[in-house]
Structure 1
Amino acid sequence: MLFWVLALLILCGFLWHYKGQLKITDITDKYIFITGCDTGFGNLAARTFDKKGFHVIAACLTESGSTALKEETSERLHTVLLDVTDPESVKRTSQWVKNQAGEKGLWGLINNAGVLGVLAPTDWLTVEDYREPIEVNLFGLISVTLNMLPLVKKARGRVINVSSIGGRLAFSGGGYAPSKYAVEAFNDSLRRDMKAFDVHVACIEPGLFKTDLSDPVKTTERKLTIWKHLSPDIKQQYGEGYIEKNLSALLISPSSYNWQDMSMPSRLKRISSI
């Protein structure tokens, strides 16, 4: 019995090691579309896959982001301006991608574009404070996916949806966590639906990384603005010293945060092998 247990453990170890050594063939024939490439994860993913030899189509929100990315990458990488909340922009972009990829389709779709929105106690907020992150992080992601899915199915490719640890634990009031919880649900249903078409669907849940999205100064400014416009009754309920203590905690020197390394090569290697 002990022999068979040891044999099984050795076999599992071998298969795990072999899985990490799998190589992707014909990289130069494969197209990857990534949203939110101005900065952060999307920018890093675009540059990384470009170096690997893929044809990368990087969607940026701004001209400046697009220009900066093109200066750091090869001629294989193409940028396109995209607002994921604008249905016409998404349709135009999907048609442009179709023309670029042709019969090969999309080997990879990475839905990375996202915003943090306002993080504050729930009773400070209005429904409008929830709207932006849900429009971008959820409806924008769904819109891009539905428009690009025929190309992904053609290539029997993969979809990577970037969620967040905030999709498992709501660490603050606001629209960010609800949008990410919903992304998790969309990812699960899409994964099951696409299995029949040999399309792989995965979800990434980053924690606290040092990106523009998690800038504590911007978060603090938004929270302070809302506090200033609160009714005297709510301010009294929280107490006069609340906002000072809260902002002091948010504005701790960035060096004291438990930031994770933005280079994260192992994470990108895992993405590229899914």
Structure 2
Amino acid sequence: MFYRLLKYVIPSFIGTYILWYLMKPEWLNQFCIICFLLIISWTIGYYFYDLFEQKTIDSMMNKIILITGCDTGFGNRLAYRLDRMGFHVYAGVLFPLGDDVQQLQQKCSNRLKIMRMDVTKPEEVNNVVEQIKQSGMPLWALVNNAGIGISVPFDWGNDIDVYRKVFDVNIFGVVRVTKSCMPLLRRSRGRIINVASAAGRMPAQWMGHYCMTKHNVRIFSDILRRELIGTGIKVITIEPSFFRTQIVNFDLIDKQRAKIFNETPDDIRQSYGGEKYLKCMNASNQLIMNITHDGIDQVIQAMINGIIRKYPKIYYRCCTNMELFTIWAASHLPEILLDSFTHIYNDRLYRQFKIGKYSD
């Protein structure tokens, strides 16, 4: 992949350098100009690489794709798309009799297999992997899509129960399934697709548990990619921004918050101002709603590219250009500025709250 990318970077750099030379901006330091042009050339080269390197794997027949978290959302839609493309899809779900799962089964061919698979339970993971072994077909790709999100302050809940619940699915589940599938993936020299999130790069208040896990998914992907160099296995990370799936179902979020609030020790609840703070948090859902995308096809196509392209990207960042710039800027701004922006937003919420807008 690196050498193919250079194939576009080098001509881009030469062309850009010649253009600069003809302009002869003598008032700028030549070293700085060369560094600047190199960055521009690399960006242009990567664009052309992405534009023209569209080669796909030779065959999609008789290859198994294992996807976790197919009850709804990304996993459900991806299973459908891959089945239409001719793959044998093993769709891991929590509720095999759920409405969305049953609809998926009806829409797909008999190549699709619905499998009860709670990623927090080793016996269920091992059962699915064993059935893949018995099929006699290669496991071409593992898509670690299963994940949950909880939006509450860091000290709400009983002890570390909230952290344990989120980490069990979003981190330990990813590691467990990946380890179980490694012998098969080494044999097929296949793919590992890990679904992280833009939240793993841009921490947000009340989402600490989720942001921590998604940051860890990204780090886990980087470690895997480097440790697996030479095996032929490619590791791809998907980083969506906010898309309208069950993880941003605000009715469920509000019920979940209320449940965790009731499990929180009374002294902690009172330190936040009691139930009025809970109402204030629920009122902030509008902010997330405003930046949530309805269509999920961008994310699904990124997953498919990671599975079928001969030279997939290391990262697929599924968001608008403005969101991409915002995430990049937020990750490079001084923390004192980010803290100030958060304080301004909080102050506005609390001021509205104190004048009774969200009170009984």
Give the TM-score, by structure 1 length: 0.87
Q: Post-superposition shift, 1:266?
A: 3.8
Maintained 8 Å contact 1:130/1:174: no
Deviations 1:36-88 (A, max 9, x none): 11111111111111111112111111122443321111122122111111111
Contact conserved, 1:131 with 1:175, CA < 8 A, in 2? Answer: no
Partners of 2:194 and 2:245 lie apart in 1 by 18
Partner of 1:177: 211
Counterpart in the other structure of 1:90: 125
Residue-by-residue CA offset, 1:188-229 (whole Å, 9 max, x unaligned): 111111121110011111111101111111111121233345
Matched with 1:124 is 156
Q: Given residue 99 of structure 1, which amino acid in structure 2 is its aligned partner?
A: Q
Whether 1:192 and 2:226 are equivalent positions in the alignment is yes
Give the Å deviation of 1:253: 10
Separation in structure 1 between the aligned mates of residue 177 and residue 61 of structure 2, nearest angstrom: 24
How many positions carry a matched residue from both structures?
Answer: 269
Residues 251-273 of structure 1 deviation map (CA, whole Å, 9 limit, x = unaligned):
x4997453242232542442332
Of 223-232 and 1-10, deviating more is 1-10
Q: 1:17 matched to which residue of 2?
A: 51
Partner of 2:93: 60
Question: Unaligned regions of 5+ residues in structure 2, if any?
Answer: 1-10, 19-40, 313-360
Q: RMSD between aligned alpha carbons?
A: 2.8
Decide whether the 8 Å contact of 1:34 with 1:42 is kept in 2.
yes
Residue correspondence of structure 1 range 129-168 to structure 2 within 5 A: 129-168=162-201
Per-residue CA distance 1:225-261 (angstroms, 9 max, x = gap): 33345455434433364332222222x4997453242
**Alignment counterpart, residue 292 of structure 2, candidates 238, 258, 261:** 258
Percent same amino acid at aligned positions?
33
Q: In the alignment, is the contact (CA less than 8 A) between 1:119 and 1:173 conserved in 2? A: yes
Contact 2:238 2:303 in 1 (8 A): no
Secondary structure at 1:208 match in 2: coil
Task: Verify: 1:210 aligned to 2:244, yes or no.
Answer: yes
Partner residue of 2:328? none
Distance 1:194 1:12, change over 3 A: closer
Distance 1:233 1:87, change over 3 A: closer
- For normalisation by structure 2, the TM-score amounts to 0.67
- Of the candidates 23, 26, 29, which is equivalent to residue 62 of structure 2? 29
* Matching residue of 2:332: none
Distance 2:95 2:147 in 1: 14
| SS at structure 1 position matched to 2:256 | helix
Q: 1:5 aligns with which of 6, 15, 19?
A: 15
CA contact (8 A) 1:46 1:56 kept: yes
1:257/1:11 CA distance change after superposition, 3 Å? closer
CA contact (8 A) 2:139 2:185 kept: yes
Query: Counterpart of 1:124 in structure 2: which amino acid?
Result: W
Please tell me whether residue 219 in structure 1 is matched to residue 253 in structure 2. Answer: yes
The residue type equivalent to 2:215 in the other structure is Y
2: distance between equivalents of 1:211 and 1:5?
Answer: 45
Computing the radius of gyration over CA atoms, which structure comes out larger, 1 or 2?
2
Deviation at 1:90, TM superposition (A): 1.2
Aligned 8 A contact 2:96 2:114 in 1: no
- Distance verdict in 2 for CA 1:59–1:229, change over 3 Å: closer
The farther-off stretch of 59-68 and 26-35 is: 59-68
- Secondary structure (helix, strand or coil) at the match of 2:143 reads strand
Give CA deviations for 1:159-184 in whole Å, capped at 9, x if unaligned.
00111122223322553222222222
